Structure 1
Amino acid sequence: MSSNFNRKIKILTDFKSKLEMFNLNKNEINKLNKKFPTIKIEFINLNKIKKEYDAEIYWGTRINDKILSKCPNLKWIHFGSVGVDKLSHKNLKNKKILISNSPGINSESVFNLAIFFLIDTTKKVLNRKNLINRLQYEKNFSECKDLDNQKIIVLGYGNIAKKLQKFSKLFNLNINFLSSRKLKMKNIINKIKFISSLKNYDTIINLLKFNEKNKNFLTKDLFDKMKKDINLILIGRLKTTSIKDLYNFLRINKKATCYLDALPDRHNKINFQKLRKLDNIFITPHVGGYFKNYWINQISIFENNLKLFINGKKIKNIIYE
């Protein structure tokens, strides 16, 4: 890759939103323009793209195969988060496009949400109505479970799971981790052992990333093997859970409790609305990755890679090339 200093580089970004978390403001743009006088940042409403765009770089979170087909000159796509499942590798196969992401950028924030939900399993105050009524609360008191008496399984063993592992040692918790990798650790188990011991777990924390192997990982077959008063903490990718099967399980098993951090998509909108009406589920609007220093960290990651890109050097955090 040769140096690009002598020509303008157009960057297509979707980081222009009413949401503070995903709004790259003018001050930040001006700082980037001063540091990189050869670039031009162009904000685009991705839903309104009707013709081809000649940007070489995409920086954001919402690009998909449809948008990709309208940007034939892209050389590098940088995701402002970890997940890149909106693009199919099949469509990238014949395109020489670098794909990078921002690993670990929101691990601490998602970890904090997981702990927040986990601690609530000891009191069950988040997803119960009529909390002001002490007698009503006591009718459900038997559903509360002290942390040190719970048997917990975490689905996935990435950065967030490793933070949970440190937390579990600090508080002497009984936690296992499901991983497809062959790791020689006592508390890491494979899928076969997970399924065979599923009936023993009090709490399941889903941190699975989305891929074809994990698509609808949690379905009726697994729900039927769980305890009827299970705690489900679902903060992994929504597509790893069958929303229809989750709804049916929670509807029947009213002593089960679910904490879900997600927004519906067009494929599960109806069942998601049904979930909202249940008393034994607490839903947050996909805010696990929100934290105050997001832009400080995000710009730092992108700037460092942009320097490498315009100097013809290999960028970091490549997940596909």
Structure 2
Amino acid sequence: MTKIILATRTFKETFYQQIESIVPDYQFVVDDGQQSINWSQVVITIGWKSAWEKHLLTEESNLKWVQAISAGVDTLPLASFAQRQILVSNGSGIHAQSITDHLLALLFMENRGIFEAIHLQQQHKWAPDDIPYATLADKRILIVGTGQIGQQLAKALTFFGVQPIGINTSGHPVDGFTETYALNDLFAQSRLADYVINILPLTKETTHLYNQDFFDQLKATASFYNVGRGPSVDTKALAESLKAKQFAFAALDVFEEEPLPNNDPLWSVDNLLITPHISGHTPHFQKAFMEIFLENLASFVKQETLTKNEIDLSKGY
């Protein structure tokens, strides 16, 4: 029986050749909605479409492995995958440098008063005394999520003299962080922070983790950035807290609803920067993704195991 790798997108020819060299008996199929797919032959998918569930989560299905393209897998039917013992891996690490660059840009723009300078320029106003400035090394930066992205950011911040503080599930030490604390310590550490940066995956525990109680206890001068998952933030509470000046500034790249509706109240919040889920946009994405997929593919065909980025389906990350 011909086996199929079913993908949601196309890749460069050179990667098809590398796949064929590893699994010459597999056929690579892109689901463009225009062709008939023999679903019983699908063993591996790259990406996932909800429309596939009725075909691939059945007794007749031979699906063994889903390679997600993104780092987040919260939109996938993980419980069904676990029930059927389907392996899942993600694209974690691909976006680490791009998201780090995005966050560094925000931090430097805030600390050097660039946002205020843009606002003054729009008013044709020369007012250097109205532009705040600070040194990044003097700031206490709390990174919530110490995975590959958090570690890359911590490494970059250390270069600029920052002593990054990390939050993870258990508080276990992680290279690059001066201190690490458990998620249960989030509020206590956030009260001390100048910046709180969320990079957590979305789970039951992290949904609306950042709620009114969280925003109420931030310092009035603090900033909050979210490049993790949109539903981690109660955006109504965030908007109300920003308008009341309970804390100074927020930058959101991800949202509870995407695209963000053009009538959403968030658009009119002055001390909020909205970017349209671009922090992870990565040059040479295909090359970085295929480094993960091809290594996993070689391992999978030998012993049906994965060597990179396997998801613990009981945890969701």
Q: Distance in 2 between matches of 1:158 and 1:201?
A: 20
Cα offset for 1:121?
1.5
Instruction: Return the match for 1:245 from 223, 234, 237.
Output: 237
Q: Distance in 2 between matches of 1:138 and 1:57?
A: 58
Q: Distance in 1 between matches of 2:189 and 2:70?
A: 33
Cα deviations by residue, 1:257-294 (Å, 9 ceiling, x for unpaired): 2222125536x955983212223222222222222221
Cα offset for 1:76?
1.1
Instruction: Return the match for 2:53 from 61, 65, 68.
Output: 68
Structure 1 spans left out of the alignment, 5+ residues: 1-6, 17-23
Cα offset for 1:165?
2.7
Contact 2:102/2:279, CA 8 A, preserved across alignment = yes
Structure-1 residue corresponding to 2:112? 123
Cα offset for 1:295?
0.8
Cα deviations by residue, 1:72-94 (Å, 9 ceiling, x for unpaired): 32211111232211124322232
Instruction: Return the match for 1:195 from 180, 187, 190.
Output: 187
Structure-1 residue corresponding to 2:46? 59
Q: Distance in 1 between matches of 2:20 and 2:38?
A: 24
Q: Distance in 2 between matches of 1:117 and 1:195?
A: 23
TM alignment of 1:32-181, pairs within 5 A: 32-33=19-20, 36-45=23-32, 53-54=39-40, 55-60=42-47, 62-64=48-50, 67-71=52-56, 72=58, 73=61, 74-126=63-115, 129-133=119-123, 135=125, 138=128, 140-142=130-132, 144-181=133-170
- Deviates further, 230-239 or 192-201: 192-201
1:226 pairs with 2:218: yes
Higher relative contact order (CA 8 A, sep 6+): 1
Q: Distance in 1 between matches of 2:189 and 2:297?
A: 47
CA distance 1:230–1:287, shift in 2 (3 Å): same
Cα deviations by residue, 1:100-120 (Å, 9 ceiling, x for unpaired): 223322212211212111111
Structure-2 residue corresponding to 1:295? 286
Letter in 2 for 1:14: T
Q: RMSD between aligned alpha carbons? A: 3.2
Instruction: Return the match for 2:265 from 261, 274, 295.
Output: 274
TM-score with structure 2 length normalisation? 0.81
Cα deviations by residue, 1:192-226 (Å, 9 ceiling, x for unpaired): 54423433322111111111111111111010111
Q: Identity rate of aligned residues, in percent?
A: 20
1:235 pairs with 2:227: yes
Please give the secondary structure, in 1, of the residue aligned with 2:114: coil
Letter in 2 for 1:203: Y
CA distance 1:37–1:236, shift in 2 (3 Å): same
Cα offset for 1:58?
0.9
Q: Distance in 2 between matches of 1:316 and 1:272?
A: 45
Q: Distance in 2 between matches of 1:230 and 1:205?
A: 11
Instruction: Return the match for 1:182 from 157, 165, 171.
Output: 171
Contact 2:231/2:256, CA 8 A, preserved across alignment = no
Instruction: Return the match for 2:248 from 241, 252, 256.
Output: 256
Q: Distance in 2 between matches of 1:313 and 1:191?
A: 34
Letter in 2 for 1:314: T
Structure 2 spans left out of the alignment, 5+ residues: none
- Deviates further, 196-205 or 269-278: 269-278
TM-score with structure 1 length normalisation? 0.80
Contact 2:229/2:255, CA 8 A, preserved across alignment = no
Contact 1:52/1:70, CA 8 A, preserved across alignment = no
- Deviates further, 235-244 or 35-44: 35-44
Q: Distance in 2 between matches of 1:282 and 1:251?
A: 13
Q: Distance in 2 between matches of 1:252 and 1:307?
A: 55
Cα offset for 1:303?
2.1
